[in-house]
Every structure is written in C-alpha cells, then in structure tokens.
Amino acid sequence: MKSISRFRGTAAIQEFNALRGCQIHKCVPALDRSRFRKTANFTGFIAKGGKKDQRPGLAGGEETQIAFLEWLCALDQPCLNALIEHAAPIGLSPFEIESLGTLGWFQLLCKRSGSAENYPDVFHLWTAEKHGFDALLTLEKKLPRLITRVQAEKAIQIQINTAVLRPLELLAAMGISEPDRVPIDRDRFYNLYEG
C-alpha cells in the first residue's frame, strides 16, 4: 500500500507513533489551492471554513478550504476549459491539468456527500485516486459510509479504486486481528507532540 497525502505532525512519544518505522512520502494535492486563491490572511487560508470556523473571531472567508472546494464544485465545462486554456499563466502543473480533467468525479462525490463540511475528505480521496493509492487511511466515519453508499448506487456508477479504511479496518486488511496495546502509565499526562 502507498502512504499518505498529508498530516500535521508526528508524535514525539514513540509509543503513540503508529507510523514509526514507515517510510513517509509526500504527495501533491489534486489541485494546489494557492494557485487559485491568493491571500495575505494566513489564518483564513489554513482554516477549514466549516461550522467551527464560523464562530466569532475565527476565519471563514473565500480563502478557506471549504470555500475553495465549493468553488470547484460550481465550475462548469466552459470554466474548466478556460482554466485549462490558461494553465501556463495560472502556473498549473501537468498533474493539475490532468486533475481538472477528472473534476467531474470530485463534483459527483461532493454532491452525494450531503454537506460542504465533507468536501475536504472527498478532496483527500480525489488526491489519493489521482496518485493511484491502494488505500486512504482516515479517522472519519462519514467518508467510509459515503463510499459504501455510493458504490451501492445503481443509477450513476462512480469508479472508486482507493479503499477508504479506518485504522482497525487497515489492520484487518493486513491480517492483524489483535492490535498491540499502547504501553501507557496510569496517572501520567502525555503530550503527544513533545518528547
């Protein structure tokens, strides 16, 4: 199996680092948002833009992840053609141009996801599909349910080649029925990102 698209940090306490010993490779997203959304508002740019970000004082503008993904979902064929035609001035890579050619796949899954809150997870799956990953590991419950529901649909078939697995499902796929217990001490505070 191939590995992951991105994660925010690595646990310094090795007992909690489930990926220790694994070789990690970074991959580029299906589309780099910064090519389409330029902003000096770093807080807004890193914000998901979901319900939690809409509380007073938090970012929730056009530069957020969800706002970008909603824009992608609204693109029609003439807009896509214009983006591809202007790929060089925008700075799109051949991979991103190819991704734009499969944007309909992403749009269909987003429509079936029920909420823009789920679009970032669908985007991660689209990225995994574009890279030909065998599996996408997630802690989310909604994405695996969405994929199961979509694969059972008869009307419109969407080809999904990447398995979406939760951690215990990944272990089961690897033939591990009893995961190792995490060696923790009672009455000890663990800060996962400091050794």
pLDDT at 2 over 50: no
How far is it, in rounded angstroms, from Cα 107 to Cα 112?
9
Q: Compute the mean pLDDT over every residue in the chain, rounded to the nearest whole number.
A: 82
Q: For 172-182, how does the pLDDT look when each residue is reduced to its tens digit (9 = 90+)?
A: 998 998 888 77
In this structure, is residue 31 part of a structural domain? yes
β-bridge partners, 136: 164
In this structure, is residue 86 part of a structural domain? yes
pLDDT-derived band at 4 (thresholds 50, 70, 90) equals very low
Q: How many domains does the chain have?
A: 1
In this structure, is residue 194 part of a structural domain? no
8-21 burial: b if 16+ Cβ within 10 Å, else e: eeebeeeeeeeeee
CA-closest candidate to residue 120, choices 51, 185, 56: 51
pLDDT at 194 over 90: no
- Please give the angle made by the CA atoms of 145, 146 and 152, to the nearest 5 degrees: 90
* End-to-end Cα, the chain, rounded Å: 29
pLDDT at 170 over 80: yes
In this structure, is residue 164 part of a structural domain? yes
In this structure, is residue 167 part of a structural domain? yes
Question: Residue 55: what pLDDT?
Answer: 58
In this structure, is residue 141 part of a structural domain? yes
How far is it, in rounded angstroms, from Cα 12 to Cα 27?
23
Question: Residue 155: what pLDDT?
Answer: 80
CA-closest candidate to residue 171, choices 131, 127, 143, 137: 137
In this structure, is residue 93 part of a structural domain? yes
Q: DSSP assignment, residue 26? A: -
Most confident of 59-63, 175-179, 188-192: 175-179
In this structure, is residue 192 part of a structural domain? no
Question: Residue 58: what pLDDT?
Answer: 53
Question: Which residue bears the tokens 């700075």?
Answer: 91
Residues 110 and 121: beta-carbon distance below 8 Å: no
Range of the domain at 142: 24-173
Where is average pLDDT lowest: 32-46, 64-78, 155-169? 32-46
